Chain A
Amino acid sequence: MIKHPKSLHKTIASIAVVLLLAGCQSMGMGVDPSKISAVSTLPAPADREWPDQKQDVLNQRARVELGLIRSPELEGYLNVLYSKIKKQAGFPNWQGKVYIVANSNLTAYATAAGNIYISPSWISTAQSEDEIVAILSHEFGHVYLHYHELEKTKVTADQAADWITLGAAIAQNTNALNGWPVADLFATGYGASRDIAVGHYGSSQELAADKFALNLTTKMGYSYDSGVKAYLEHQATWEDVNEARQKAYEDKLSESFTGLGTLASLKISQGWKFVTSDHPKTIDRMDAVAIAADDVPPKLLGKKPVVKPFNSVRNSGAVSSMLKSFGFAMKGLENPNAIDAYDNAKKSAGGANAKYAYSAIAVFKTQLASILNGNAANANGLGRGLDLNINSEPDRAWKVYVTKADFFARMGQVPAAKTVMDQGFAYFNSAGEAWPEAILFYGQYESWDKAKKMAATCAKEFPGLAKACKTAAITPAEKAEMDRRAQENANRLVNKLMKKDK
């Protein structure tokens, strides 16, 4: 019989969260966000060990679904701006460059290596150099504020929690705590608490990065109005667009009985995402920045934006061509089964753009969909774009290898699939993000023993990916057993609750 099971559960969950928070404190976690103001001298940044810059780029080429886009002219322009930002902050020699990430969303992010990744959508959306500098300054703010220490702390706390979970499960030697294994309960409790703690910390960092951007950009002579304010307003509009899209989807779901079930799950998930979000609402950020901007000298607030050099780069041949090509590829990927999807995707593959992963994958997916929809005449040259990407070493994306290997395997050509995977993994194996998909592939098409050995190596080399690698190495039989147990636990819990109600 278990004594005080609930207090045990609470205790161990609390221990893990304390570990996480203690980790945050003991590791310094960079600059205190509350010390960032719009006009003051910036507090000194924390000392750090810089991760390898080139490895970081390879990591992104493995991580991002459609890879990176090499655009020397655009990157050159952005890197001149980034250098000015670093100089203004007092650290002109800090490492880090700007890269273009093939994501159709409005997105930009920074890594601990000091690199900033920005999507073509931001390049197309921004209205001035002021806005681009503000976005880059916001991201540089995360580097300066040492946001990435949080990641290390999370991994450390997760590992500690794993040990506590294991210890608790052994100590209890039981499979029932209100109908649910103690380890599962603890994992749920820890995971929930961790996500809330991390979300809260992330939110404060976003507000600090906005103020950091306001501080730097106005000192550099850029406008608040066309800079920080503009990017927040663009972001707010984009969120409104997506809320409207989401509402339309939910309205459609509510029209059917099965849809209502999906809608209920969705609402629970959305509620949880809201609680654990690492970004405050954009409107709150806009308000916070508007209030902070009161401290900025009025002459700097509404300065005339710098438009000409930005438009000159954006409208230049290669950059303009890439942006249009990206647009066609995204149009194709929106719905690969649409009647004009393949035609749109093909338009993305003109000239030098054909080697980019976004174009190669868009053409492949839409072409395959077209063939499967009965247009056998479109079969010619299937996968040619994938080869173009693979043969262009600096443009290679991990997902291209995965797509090609998966296609061969599904066609029953397992040796050819393995050759592709071997080549891809040989190139990308120093990037942890490549491991889960490689493990799954080798498990499915070579042996699960190999997959499990790879998962153990992955956990050792890339602790942050341990869970994903472990999951990828689960055999179909193990998965079936886990599903059966989960169902059994759920049934037991329901029965218990039903009895209690009676």
Chain B
Amino acid sequence: MKKSFVVLSLFTLAFNAFAAEQITALSPSSRTEIELFTKAGAPQSVKTLSASDMPFPVSVQAQEAGFLKVAVEGKTYWLKSTQVRIQRDVVASCAASAERAERVGATPGLAGNSCK
């Protein structure tokens, strides 16, 4: 699968939250099936799809109450956001990220230094 990344320019600061967001996998990784619903917040799913049948990446069309609207197998469904992993837009760069090595006193950061 070819990954496509979206890193917004620091200038544009466009916060169109779901313009390019995609579902890339089920969550957690051990999940094997995903429930599909006819509407957001519906108590019962109408269909269950195995992970291998999900055509990743799946574009997110809308979001509502913890549910994501998607098109699967030519039909529109809603699925629980907590059950999938989303690729989200990032506004960052590595222009000035160099931390001085071997310094003291701080935690290593929320996720270490990605700009290696």
Q: Do A and B come from one complex?
A: yes
What are some 9 contacts across the A-B interface (CB < 8 A)?
Answer: A63-B103, A104-B94, A105-B94, A225-B81, A236-B85, A273-B116, A327-B13, A328-B10, A464-B105
> Is B102 a contact of A121 with CB atoms below 8 Å?
no
> Is B110 a contact of A331 with CB atoms below 8 Å?
no
Report the bound CA distance from A63 to B100 in whole Å.
7
> Is A286 a contact of B28 with CB atoms below 8 Å?
yes
What residues of chain A lie closer than 8 Å to B96, measured between beta carbons? 65-66, 102-104, 329-330, 333, 358
Chain B residue, CB-CB nearest to A463: B104
> Is A108 a contact of B106 with CB atoms below 8 Å?
no
Most chain A beta-carbon contacts within 10 A, residue among B13, B80, B112, B113: B112
Most chain A beta-carbon contacts within 10 A, residue among B67, B82, B92, B97: B92
Chain A residue, CB-CB nearest to B9: A327
From A135, A205, A237, give the contact of B110 (CB < 8 A): A135
Report the bound CA distance from A142 to B92 in whole Å.
24
> Is A107 a contact of B82 with CB atoms below 8 Å?
no
Q: Does any Cβ of B come within 8 Å of A217's Cβ? A: no
Contact (A279, B29) CB under 8 Å given A110-B106, A293-B82: no
Report the bound CA distance from A48 to B5 in whole Å.
44
Q: Does any Cβ of B come within 8 Å of A41's Cβ? A: no
Contact (A65, B98) CB under 8 Å given A286-B85, A287-B29: yes
Q: How far is the CB of B114 from chain A (nearest CB, A)?
A: 5
Report the bound CA distance from A428 to B80 in whole Å.
52
Give the number of residue pairs across the A-B interface with Cβ within 8 Å. 208
Q: How far is the CB of B103 from chain A (nearest CB, A)?
A: 6
Q: Does any Cβ of B come within 8 Å of A84's Cβ? A: no
What residues of chain B lie closer than 8 Å to A59, measured between beta carbons? 105
Q: Mark B83-104, 1 if CB is under 8 A from A, else 0.
A: 0011111111111111110111
Given contacts A106-B90, A324-B10, 20 further A-B contacts (CB under 8 A): A65-B99, A66-B96, A105-B97, A109-B106, A121-B10, A121-B91, A127-B15, A127-B17, A225-B66, A231-B110, A233-B87, A235-B110, A236-B85, A238-B92, A239-B114, A278-B108, A286-B28, A302-B65, A330-B10, A331-B10
What residues of chain B lie closer than 8 Å to A278, measured between beta carbons? 108, 112
Report the bound CA distance from A196 to B29 in whole Å.
26
Q: Does any Cβ of B come within 8 Å of A223's Cβ? A: yes
**Within residues 1 to 60 of chain B, which ones have a CB less than 8 A from any CB in chain A?**
3, 5-11, 13, 15, 17, 27-30
Report the bound CA distance from A282 to B25 in whole Å.
14
> Is B80 a contact of A105 with CB atoms below 8 Å?
no
Q: What is the size category of the interface that chain B forms with chain A? A: 35 or more
From A103, A206, A283, A301, give the contact of B29 (CB < 8 A): A283
Q: Mark A103-129, 1 if CB is under 8 A from B, else 0.
A: 111111111100001010110110100
> Is A105 a contact of B82 with CB atoms below 8 Å?
no
Q: Does any Cβ of B come within 8 Å of A240's Cβ? A: yes
Q: How far is the CB of A302 from chain B (nearest CB, A)?
A: 1
> Is B90 a contact of A148 with CB atoms below 8 Å?
no
What residues of chain B lie closer than 8 Å to A467, measured between beta carbons? 102
**Within residues 385 to 437 of chain A, which ones have a CB less than 8 A from any CB in chain B?**
432-433
Q: Which 4 A-B pairs have the closest CB atoms?
A: A302-B66, A327-B10, A105-B97, A464-B104
> Is B112 a contact of A432 with CB atoms below 8 Å?
no
What residues of chain A lie closer than 8 Å to B111, measured between beta carbons? 106-107, 206, 235, 238-239, 279, 282
Q: Mark A324-348, 1 if CB is under 8 A from B, else 0.
A: 1011111101100000000000000
> Is B108 a contact of A104 with CB atoms below 8 Å?
no
Q: How far is the CB of A132 from chain B (nearest CB, A)?
A: 12
Report the count of interface residues on A (CB-CB < 8 A). 90
Contact (A331, B95) CB under 8 Å given A244-B5, A290-B28: yes
What residues of chain A lie closer than 8 Å to B74, measured between beta carbons? none
> Is A139 a contact of B28 with CB atoms below 8 Å?
no
Contact (A277, B112) CB under 8 Å given A112-B105, A147-B107, A311-B15: yes
Chain A residue, CB-CB nearest to B64: A304
Contact (A237, B10) CB under 8 Å given A242-B114, A290-B28: no
Q: How far is the CB of A455 from chain B (nearest CB, A)?
A: 15
What residues of chain A lie closer than 8 Å to B87, measured between beta carbons? 233, 236-237, 240
Q: How far is the CB of B9 from chain A (nearest CB, A)?
A: 7
Q: How far is the CB of B10 from chain A (nearest CB, A)?
A: 3
**Within residues 273 to 331 of chain A, which ones have a CB less than 8 A from any CB in chain B?**
273, 277-279, 282-283, 286-288, 290-291, 293, 301-304, 311, 320, 323-324, 326-331
Contact (A103, B93) CB under 8 Å given A109-B107, A112-B105: no
Report the bound CA distance from A241 to B97 in whole Å.
15
What residues of chain A lie closer than 8 Å to B17, measured between beta carbons? 127
From B6, B91, B107, give the contact of A124 (CB < 8 A): B91
Report the bound CA distance from A304 to B81 in whole Å.
12
From B10, B15, B91, B103, give the contact of A433 (CB < 8 A): B103
What residues of chain B lie closer than 8 Å to A225, measured between beta carbons? 66, 81-82
